Structure 1
């Protein structure tokens, strides 16, 4: 089959590790002809070009700036995405007849590009639903359903419904996402909406105790404490006010230590907290060399997940996969709409509490300071990944519709 994959992820080879590159490698390994559009933002000053890797092709499409810019430029760039994708398809892939188009949210603004291929080639379309927008923006107060912001909401809600309408199949991250989508979009057919989870091609993580000690010494991390790591985006969706509460509450906990590593729009909150209060039981890293970060992350004892308690949509953070890959138990503090806590505790590879419940969070930390419990949960974590969240699983779910 000729497969077209549309994404906002910026990569120049599918040999990179990630939920989309791992999935595309699976399609290539199964002898499909894979074509990818992976944009690069204007501030990087890289003109549009087609990269031919033989078994697959990547169109590096220059788009406007959606990161490291102001809200107005980000909005304009987002609104012009589908016209740029459409032009790229017509210019570089005019002679290719596609059998299947796969695309992900965010963004929801690729609808016309998908619709063009669907009509031109009579192609099937598969949406990987990673983000339910604009409702997530309403939950966080970025948009409203009334006033000026209400006009924006209804514009994006209309785009969202059109994207669902042209999607032959919609793969959701979890069952809670399936239920939310069907309950809020009753016009959708239950037969066309399914669970197609975040997934990776798992690496074997070898834990060398000498290297672990070296990296901890290098970054001034205690050797003899249970180390909890939060790595990734530090933005509004993560509800970082509660993370700061947790840091304060465990300032004198002699058994554990926090590592926070990442960047995002709310990073300054954490930076101010560390500068003003200088917590002795935590370290904040804005950026680490990739090899050091990977080694450090895989040297920790517990992986942390935080989500803002205001969410009514069921988010399912992909950072869970890196924790499972490292055989690391998970401690999640989230809203009550997501089912990530049910999955974590149901498979016994971690613990969950509602974001804001500091007493339960601290109780869970005390339990996870038990090395025997952590070891068993770590084994369960890796087993769950291999049995449920591999790119092979996602590939087979998608291709089940074409056998």
Structure 2
């Protein structure tokens, strides 16, 4: 099959886990004998369409304005234009049998018009990899008022996003149930877990040590990597760092970008944290390098969330055999699966006491390593890229 993969952010320039996941999926499709064309924005590029090859994957970048790390209004305008700009750039390349299937990733919610046109032109089906129930999480966080004009605007495109899909993959059973209940079972859905290719970092490839560079050589490093935003409730993890100050062996390292970077740095200063370091985003290879040098993988989801996300960052932790420590919103089945495999410790956000007590146990090397090995076993059992690719191809094949 020749497959079109649509995503709003892609390798090699992206630092985001969604881009890494989609590239690993594309490479797995190629490995299985399929042709893949990734269609993705090229920010402020010279030409309407620029083609390249990355690890055997054809990449088509259409010219677009910036859609990441900019003001909300400008981002909304540029995201709204994604489908139009993409179609204008690629339509002359297509014919009635060019693609056999379309796989598109959400977020963004603005690819529906492109998907619909591709389906009509090529006579093929589409599969939506739904990783984020937007704008619902923004409403949950109080960033958007329910019933407001802007919420109605985003809801309109959210519905178009779902309508354009022949099949929708959600990341967990609880998320699937929630989605089907909210949409009155209008759509064909299945569980498509997040995925990762198992390729641990070879430290011999590194020309320096982050531990030495940051002067934290003999510390137990509690690491958070990824989006630092409202949806994560970063103050939750900062409270943990504050509570752990009396344990000289513990150090907290946060790496990423987002709306709450200023907040975490302010809290670190206000609380005079000497066990905390923040670094801006790094590229994917440097991120893997970092993961190979740390000890515990942290994550946090805001208590107010009604959707049940599985943060993609956990996949990187599992690949490097890091135990998982963090907080989820009530009802999130991530808690159950991590506990089932004894791959870490997860609590409902707000349970600071148990989170703190669990963090202390990870100062013990043997305890920490056992949990980390279990995390890798969980990856192999539930979150392989091979399984994700096979599930999607099977759905296309049985239509």
What TM-score do the two structures reach when normalised by structure 1?
Answer: 0.90
Aligned-partner Cα distance in 1 for 2:236–2:59:
41
* Offset, 1:360: 1.0
1:141-160 pair list within 5 angstroms: 141-146=142-147, 150-160=148-158
Q: Which moved more, 1:287-296 or 1:99-108?
A: 287-296
SS at match of 1:18: helix
Aligned to 1:239: 233
For 1:297 and 1:135, locate their aligned partners in 2 and report how far apart those are by CA, in whole Å: 31
Structure 1 Cα separation of the partners of residues 55 and 280 of structure 2: 37
Specify every segment of 5 or more residues in structure 1 that has no aligned partner in the other structure, as ranges. none
Check the 8 A contact 1:222/1:257 in 2, yes or no: no
Question: Structure 1 pair 56/141, CA: closer, same or farther in 2 (3 Å)?
Answer: same
Given candidates 361, 370, 379, the residue that maps to 1:385 is: 379
Q: Does the CA contact (< 8 Å) of 2:64 and 2:78 recur in 1?
A: yes
Partner SS state of residue 88, structure 1? helix
Residue pair 2:322, 2:372 contacting (<8 A) in 1 also: yes
| Structure 2 residue aligned with 1:331 | 325
Call closer, same or farther: CA 1:290–1:4 in 2, change over 3 Å: closer
Q: Distance in 1 between matches of 2:377 and 2:167?
A: 28
Q: Counterparts of 1:92 and 1:47 in 2: how far apart (Å)?
A: 12
Alpha-carbon spacing, 1:47–1:219, altered in 2? closer, same or farther (3 Å): farther
Task: Describe how 1:97-116 pairs up with structure 2 within 5 A.
Answer: 97-116=98-117
Aligned mates of 2:386, 2:51 — CA distance in 1? 27
User: Alignment partner of 1:179: what SS?
Assistant: helix
Alignment of 1:161-172 (within 5 A): 161-172=159-170
Question: What does 1:44-59 correspond to in 2, within 5 Å?
Answer: 48-51=49-52, 56-59=57-60
Of 354, 358, 365, 1:364 maps to 358
Structure 2: gaps (5+ residues): none
CA gap of 1:198–1:323, structure 2 versus 1, over 3 A, is: same
Which of 164, 171, 174 aligns to 2:172? It is: 174
Residue 219 (structure 1) aligns with? 214
- Once the two structures are TM-superposed, the CA of residue 357 in structure 1 deviates from its matched residue by 1.6
The aligned residue for residue 5 of structure 2 is 5
2:253 maps to 1:259: yes
Return the offset for 1:96. 4.9
Between 322-331 and 225-234, report the one with greater CA deviation: 225-234
What is the match of residue 198 of structure 1?
194
For residues 235-268 of structure 1, what are the alpha-carbon distances to aligned partners after superposition, in whole Å with 9 as ceiling and x for unaligned? 1111012222222222212342211122212101
Number of the residue aligned with 1:376: 370
2:22 counterpart of 1:20: yes
Spell out, residue by residue over 1:337-380, the C-alpha distance to the aligned partner (whole angstroms, 9 max, x if none). Answer: 42222221111100011212211111111222232221211111
**1:149-194 deviations in whole A, cap 9, x for unaligned?**
x2222232232223222311111111121111111111425xx211
* Distance in 2 of aligned mates of 1:293 and 1:56: 22
Indicate the residue corresponding to 1:131 in structure 2. 132
CA distance in 1, matches of 2:310, 2:239: 23
